[in-house]
Structure 1
Amino acid sequence: MSDATVARSAIVVGAGTSGSIVTRRLVDAGWDVTLVEAGGYDSNPAIHDPSRAGELWHAAEDWDYFTVPQEHAAGRRLHLPRGKVTGGSHALNAMIWVRGAASDYDGWERSGATGWGWSAVQPVFEGIENDLLPVTDDYPLVPIQRSIVAAAAEEGLEHNPDYNGGTLDGVSQEQVTMRDGRRVNTWMAYVRPVEHAPNLRVVTDAEVHSVIVEDGASVGVRLAEDSELRADEVILAAGALGSPAILLRSGIGPRADLEELGIDVVHDAPEVGANLHDHLLSPVIFTTDRPVGPPQPGVSVTQTHLFWRSREDLAEPDTQPIHFSVPMWGELEPRPGVNGPGDGFTLMAGLVTPHSRGSLRISGPDVQDPLRIDLGALADERDVAALAASVRQARRIGARPALAEEWGAAEAYPGPEVADADVEDWVRRTAITYHHQVGTCRMGADPAAVVDPRLRVSGIAGLRVIDASVMPTITTGNTNAPAAVIGELGARFVLEDSAPAL
């Protein structure tokens, strides 16, 4: 057998959105692939029934991360659910498919991410949506969701029948990755059909400690139980929290931080773990006189959302409220006669263009050492102003006739005793993650970038990061669809860069 016909091998770390796509593309190309997932298989029925997604928080399938106390968010530690299961966070989320704004990707390219402009990523989106992954809004809205759309129209928002068609603004039915009332994620669509291929090995319940680097090149990974796996290429697809943590434990990161923890420095990369940012939500909850009813099997508790500009001078929407058919009490302080069982709905105000930046650090060299996750949530006053404006808008929508008169909707939280002028304080006391952490392995062409535009880790041969951590700036909307594009383009780069020269 000639060298040209010897199959190359790869280890893909993480069976989430990006990692599953990379795995499929390499398997189809004839590579020997080992897919390593820290969690188990997606056997929990709550994963597959969209009405039960809330059961997965704090469950075995959730990494159950928490931030450090957030100085600008009332000193609270925010829960960051992340998928620890085949399918990754796409096994836990609301399956909402948002491409984002064309300007998001053109902005990446202007910042040095050559080849990532809208003209490059648009056909990739179209290919995903027309190939293996179903993206649909062909499902009936439950009555309360229809009324929320009507109330938004009464507030003056236009109905947008296709927010992925080039214009985000307006109120829309969510486009989701579902089929016949069941969740479909990239693990199910890309990997499961080839799970038993002779050139694929899936290893579950195996947490990766670090990358093995020899003579400046990655040659494999160390697992938490001290065993090793070796391959020609190592691809980290463990997400914006997992991938930088693995790099840091590998000795790839800020020299001073690594030396303080007694970790041998393999490559001084100051921005590993930096540039962490996330979308944020803040709840506006309404009780109703007319019964809304409990969640129904096969029906997501969120079906509509809207995009809106909190200021007229903005080029793109900076808010994306998401609407729930249930009262999302969460950890709100109980209020007699209000907080508890009963009918209601939630207009969850949403910030999608955050200016605040945080960081991820490890607290020790072992996988058991907790991550120090600091979102820097609401550190920038522009974020507070935008999220507060979204809360005020949600209050107005809930008071419109389609909800207040037809459903007897009454604002329970923040509640009438909280004046609009005091909403900023409400936001700081209630803001939570929108589940969209990005940026900790920023791509770019400058020397400080963690990965180059082809997602190769600077300074280490044979090592790539292919997941949402490479985003220089977060996209305008849910990040699952962009993570899928990152998976497709990342796999393409791997195959192109390994092709024999003609």
Structure 2
Amino acid sequence: MSEQFDYIIVGAGSAGCVLAGRLSEDPATRVLLLEAGPPDRSLWIHLPIGYGKTMWSDTYNWRFNTDPDPNMNGRRIYWPRGKTLGGSSSINGLIYIRGQREDYDHWAALGNTGWGYEDVLPYFIKSEGNQRGAIPFHGSEGPLKVSDISARHELIEAFIDGAGQIGVPRTDDFNGAQQEGAGYYQLTTHKGWRCSTAKAYLDPGRGRQNLRIETGAFAAGLIMDGRRAVGVRFRQGGEIKSARCNAEVLLAAGSIQSPQLLQLSGIGPRALLEQHGIPVVLDAPGVGENLQDHLQIRLSFECTKPITVNDQLNSLVGKMQIGLQWLLFRSGPLAVGINQGGCFMRALADEASTPDIQFHVATLSADMAGGKVHPYSGFTMSICQLRPESRGHIRIRGADPFEPPEMQPNYLSTDLDRRTAVAGVKAVRAIAASVAMRPYVKREVKPGPQDATDDALLEFCRNNGATIFHPTGTCRMGIDPLAVVDARLRVNGVAGLRVVDCSVMPTLVSGNTNAPAVMMAEKAVDMIRADAKNKR
């Protein structure tokens, strides 16, 4: 490309769209945004319930699979990731969760100056356009719209009451003074539509002359001048093209593809690069290591009453009703996605000072996320361990940039993770057996009462656990020799290159990762601008 840019952003996902939208607010700053997927034109992207369709889309989803995980009885785990403008924010479950104060204070304690809770809270508030308005802990003017689930559901109310009966209080804000509690989630929706980061941050800037958005542009590697990144090579329309920048390349390709691109470009573990014949630019042993993810354990139940989404979707009249509800009022199941209720609690109460598991409660049931609903009235309670100790890795398989890398999560590889998974299943059963929920539970379908011992429950987790779509940590920030980026997200040992996505998280946050990804990108923009000013 003959045009010269100041910044090239690789990946138009949750972070990349924020970077492009914010940096291009300065008309003197020229920005190129590269996205491997197509534009976000599908109705299924913008309809909140539509991720049941995009979950399996070859067009809008990378549809990754992990390598066989020995801790999961050799299973490959399906890892959907967004491949369109908005990235995974265009296909996710819409839940707005920031994590716990302690998550960010821990980052700062590891040597990441400026990443404590009081440092990041202003960026959460800046990004947020919450329908509740500018109240403590929340913002009303930000681009990312956040909405309440307005209609109360009988089953979710029973779940919240049941959680209360085992000692978990009701809450109306998981992102307020404390996370612990049971209640309804807030969602990244606005007036019945999904609010992806493409909608929030890119749409306002699409007419800017200084912002160029290229879709169908699959990044193949960085252009290096010694140890300085000066551009990006990418495939578009069957051709290999290149683009160059004066200031910085900003990798926002996610926890799988950001480390993959670094390794392909000669920045990674020396032995791995030499094994695949890639010239070593920088021996960086931490690139691709430290992979973390939330393992989701789904328990499904048959409901005693025909009040679930299963009942509506299995009936022509029911389908018509929910369709009309959305068309006329922008409400109902189509407007809120799948998981309405949740809970943050301590499963290992003697060991955890803050919640260590999260519930996602759906008023439907299926064999897997995004799958066909069961023919009976059903609902699902899923749990995940919030701060897993297990660590995996991302490693290229060869020099071909278009071959997916090795993805090994190593789920349940530590004693704490195994005990927390079993305790989480027991917590689900405790709520299901509560006085409040008992009238709604006809039977536990999966795992079923035959799995009664800890060993049987752990085996159920190994055979049925799946990702809840939060891979992180593979380009982590820090000050030790295995850290990939510094506290300003600059790649250690390389000039003109930053990573701005969930791969830089040193440890996984206690909850869904979309809101933190947006926060990190908002904070990165301020750092990028400040560093550019200091160079003048």
TM-score, normalised to structure 2, is 0.88
1:330 maps to amino acid: M
| 8 Å contact from structure 1 (residues 276, 437) kept in 2 | yes
**Structure 1 residue 442 and structure 2 residue 451: aligned?**
no
Structure 2 residue aligned with 1:11: 8
Select 1:218's aligned residue among 225, 229, 242: 229
| 8 Å contact from structure 1 (residues 294, 326) kept in 2 | no
1:440 maps to amino acid: T
2:44 maps to amino acid: A
Which residues in structure 2 correspond to 1:192-341 (within 5 Å)? 192-224=203-235, 225-232=239-246, 233-291=248-306, 292=308, 293-294=311-312, 296-312=333-349, 313-330=351-368, 340-341=374-375
**Structure 1 residue 363 and structure 2 residue 363: aligned?**
no
Aligned-pair CA distance for 1:420: 4.0
2:471 maps to amino acid: Q
| 8 Å contact from structure 1 (residues 53, 93) kept in 2 | yes
**Structure 1 residue 352 and structure 2 residue 386: aligned?**
yes
Which residues in structure 2 correspond to 1:337-486 (within 5 Å)? 340-405=374-439, 407-421=440-454, 422-486=456-520
| 8 Å contact from structure 2 (residues 52, 369) kept in 1 | no
Secondary structure of the 1:147 match is: helix
Pairwise CA RMSD = 1.8
CA–CA separation in structure 2 for the residues paired with 1:98 and 1:169: 12
Secondary structure of the 1:395 match is: helix
The 3 A distance-change label for structure 1 pair 401 and 417 is same
| 8 Å contact from structure 1 (residues 34, 202) kept in 2 | yes
Aligned-pair CA distance for 1:368: 2.6
Moved more, 217-226 or 150-159: 150-159
Moved more, 305-314 or 193-202: 305-314
CA–CA separation in structure 1 for the residues paired with 2:40 and 2:496: 30
Secondary structure of the 1:235 match is: strand
1:18 maps to amino acid: A
Moved more, 25-34 or 253-262: 25-34
Q: Note the alpha carbon deviations across 1:152-188, whole angstroms, 9 max, x for none.
A: 2233321011111121111021011111111101110
| Structure 1 alignment gaps of length 5 or more | 1-6
CA–CA separation in structure 2 for the residues paired with 1:493 and 1:8: 19
CA–CA separation in structure 1 for the residues paired with 2:347 and 2:291: 23
| 8 Å contact from structure 2 (residues 94, 337) kept in 1 | no
Moved more, 395-404 or 356-365: 395-404
Moved more, 252-261 or 136-145: 136-145
Moved more, 362-371 or 143-152: 143-152
Secondary structure of the 1:105 match is: helix
CA–CA separation in structure 1 for the residues paired with 2:167 and 2:116: 33
Structure 2 residue aligned with 1:70: 69
CA–CA separation in structure 2 for the residues paired with 1:429 and 1:485: 35
Aligned-pair CA distance for 1:447: 3.4
TM-score, normalised to structure 1, is 0.94
Moved more, 205-214 or 132-141: 132-141
Moved more, 351-360 or 93-102: 93-102
Aligned-pair CA distance for 1:138: 4.8
CA–CA separation in structure 1 for the residues paired with 2:441 and 2:406: 44
1:181 maps to amino acid: G
CA–CA separation in structure 2 for the residues paired with 1:69 and 1:248: 22
Q: Note the alpha carbon deviations across 1:324-381, whole angstroms, 9 max, x for none.
A: 111131299x9xxxx9422100001211110000000010111232310000111112
The 3 A distance-change label for structure 1 pair 249 and 501 is closer
Percent sequence identity over aligned pairs: 38
Structure 1 residue aligned with 2:81: 82
Structure 2 residue aligned with 1:3: none
2:211 maps to amino acid: L
CA–CA separation in structure 1 for the residues paired with 2:63 and 2:109: 36
Secondary structure of the 2:156 match is: helix
| 8 Å contact from structure 1 (residues 73, 377) kept in 2 | yes
CA–CA separation in structure 2 for the residues paired with 1:349 and 1:294: 25
Which residues in structure 2 correspond to 1:127-146 (within 5 Å)? 127-129=126-128, 130=139, 131-146=142-157
| Structure 2 alignment gaps of length 5 or more | 129-138, 314-332
CA–CA separation in structure 1 for the residues paired with 2:312 and 2:19: 38
Q: Note the alpha carbon deviations across 1:29-66, whole angstroms, 9 max, x for none.
A: 23100110010111221111122212112202111111
1:159 maps to amino acid: R
Secondary structure of the 2:336 match is: coil
Which residues in structure 2 correspond to 1:98-113 (within 5 Å)? 98-113=97-112
CA–CA separation in structure 2 for the residues paired with 1:347 and 1:81: 21
CA–CA separation in structure 1 for the residues paired with 2:418 and 2:42: 37
The 3 A distance-change label for structure 1 pair 501 and 264 is closer
Secondary structure of the 2:277 match is: coil
Q: How many pairs are equivalent?
A: 490
**Structure 1 residue 165 and structure 2 residue 176: aligned?**
yes
Select 1:35's aligned residue among 11, 33, 36: 33
CA–CA separation in structure 2 for the residues paired with 1:72 and 1:412: 24
